[in-house]
Amino acid sequence: MFTWYVAVLRKYATFGGRAGLPEFWWFSLVNFVISLVLTAFVVVSVKLADVLLVIYALATLLPSLAVGVRRLHDTNRSGWFLLISLVPFIGGIWLLVLLALGGDAGPNKYGPPPGAQPIDAAVSATPRRERAPSDGKPPTLELHGVSKHFGSVQALTEVDFEVRSGEVMALVGDNGAGKSTLIKCVAGINAIDGGEILFEGNPVQIHGPKDAARFGIEVVYQDLALCDNRDVVQNMYLGREERDVFFRVRDAAMERRTQDTLRSLSVTTLRSVRQPVATLSGGQRQSVAVARAVMWNSRVVILDEPTAALGVAQTRQVLDLVKRLAEQGQAVVIVSHNLHDIFEVADRITVLRLGKNVGVFDRDKTTQQEIVSAITAGIATKVSGIPEAAAPKHEGDGPEEKV
């Protein structure tokens, strides 16, 4: 079959003979079958869509057009033969539609990106603290010896961090402790300078926000990143709108999924999902931002100061939402200065001070006073940018713990 196909194509391309009718029909049929096979491959593995589209164009579309034009030249007939030769274009158009609708695994998939390799950086040889008891599964997100500097400023120094599915991990520290830098490293905004990031036990590389979204890591920043002049549905799908084959926005489907997501999180204070975000209260806006993160099958949800500038009732609404996220199996990281909120929703508490780990505390085995002492005084043996021997030692500090 391949020899015949090449022979017919060579004959037509070199004008070595007339385009016979049986050959023309068989040649068009073979091209159409090839287009269906390649289209099926694209449906199964859209990651190969770009490569298959090029192969498809070279193997079917161009030969079909060449044979069709040759048939018209030889027979001086109507354009029906040319139309028949365009039949394989159906597969090509379908491929283009698939690419336009998102020709990759999409943000809902998680796992290492193709070709991901462990970061070529030495992991800190410092002894690690005892991990929380687990069911044998690795943490959903784990950082080993992560460091980050901006010029001469060492923002993070060999930081270890982990969060597990169904757990609320609090990240606390004073201003300048490195909390925001750590979040941005996980979110792909800042690249780490050293250390290792693991997702479900596998070393991964996060080069940008798209990589983080592919692993299912969603961040709800303090400013929420909502558009006041858009309604709830439009904000939930901002930049990820669903479209049909004619590229029209599927408003009805988007609205249904938005309502289902809000209902699953027990968000019942919204009058309508079509009301502008500008008309929502602070707690309602926070709920919309969290629901947007959850809707895309996120595995890790990071909340940056979710209760800042909220009233009592709105704070209660957000804290209940955080608890529901953990109940649904998400790994939740909450960054906050409010220890009352932390002790209400968190399972464990990670304290950062001057870019280094101070400790990981079990909420049921610690007190707010101990957390405050760790934030303000700390038990780190080295201060970033200062030689270890010159680091101040506070009176009454317990035994030093290397981190």
Average pLDDT estimate for 230-235: 93
Residue 395 has pLDDT above 70, yes or no: no
Mean pLDDT of 51-80: 58
Give CA–CA dist 165/172, Å, rounded: 20
Q: Are 342 and 350 in contact (CB under 8 A)?
A: no
Average pLDDT over every residue of 203-210: 91
Residue 7, pLDDT > 80, answer: no
pLDDT at 307 exceeding the cut of 90: no
Judged against a pLDDT cut of 50, whether residue 215 lies above it is answered with yes
pLDDT the model gives residue 377 = 83
Mean pLDDT to the nearest integer, 147-172: 94
- Which of 345, 351, 324, 300 is closest to 198 using CA atoms? 300
- The Cα 179–Cα 122 span in angstroms is 22
Q: Write down the number of H helices and E strands in the chain.
A: 14, 10
Is the pLDDT at 301 greater than 90? The verdict is: yes
pLDDT of 325 over the 70 cut: yes
The CA distance from 290 to 293, in Å, is 5
Q: What is the pTM of this model?
A: 0.61
Please report the pLDDT score of residue 131 as a whole number: 44
pLDDT band with cut points at 50, 70 and 90 for residue 283: confident
**Token pair of 158, please?**
């060999």
Work out the pLDDT band at 95, boundaries 50, 70, 90: low
CB 301 within 8 A of CB 293: yes
User: Cβ distance 141 to 120 under 8 Å?
Assistant: no
* Of 199, 191, 18, the residue nearest 120 (C-alpha): 191
d(CA 254, CA 292): 12
Give percent above pLDDT 70 in the chain. 65
Res. 262: pLDDT tops 80: yes
Question: What is the CATH code of the structural domain delimited by 141-216+297-390?
Answer: 3.40.50.300
Measured CA angle at 259 (ends 250, 310), to 5 deg = 120
pLDDT at 237: 92
Mean pLDDT for the chain?
76
Least confident stretch, 10-14, 24-28, 157-161: 10-14
More confident residue, 189 or 46: 189
pLDDT at 205: 92
pLDDT at position 238 over 70: yes
- The answer on pLDDT for 103 being more than 90 is no
Rounded distance between C-alpha atoms, residue 161 and residue 171, angstroms: 9
Q: Give the least confident one: 47-51, 52-56, 249-253, 359-363.
A: 47-51
Residue 243 has pLDDT above 80, yes or no: yes
What does the radius of gyration of the chain's CA atoms come to, in whole angstroms?
29
Taking only the tens place, the pLDDT of each residue in 137-152 is 899 999 999 999 999 9
> For the residues 99-108, what does the mean pLDDT come to?
44
| Minimum mean pLDDT range among 36-45, 233-242, 271-280, 286-295 | 36-45
pLDDT band (50, 70, 90) for residue 6: confident
The C-alpha angle with vertex 60 and arms to 91 and 50, in degrees rounded to 5, equals: 60
pLDDT (0 to 100) of residue 221: 86
> Bigger pLDDT: 203 or 20?
203
352 near 177, Cβ under 8 Å? yes
**pLDDT surpassing 50 at residue 392:** no
What is the pairing mode between strands 300-304 and 217-220?
A: parallel
Q: Are strands 194-199 and 168-172 parallel, antiparallel or unpaired?
A: unpaired
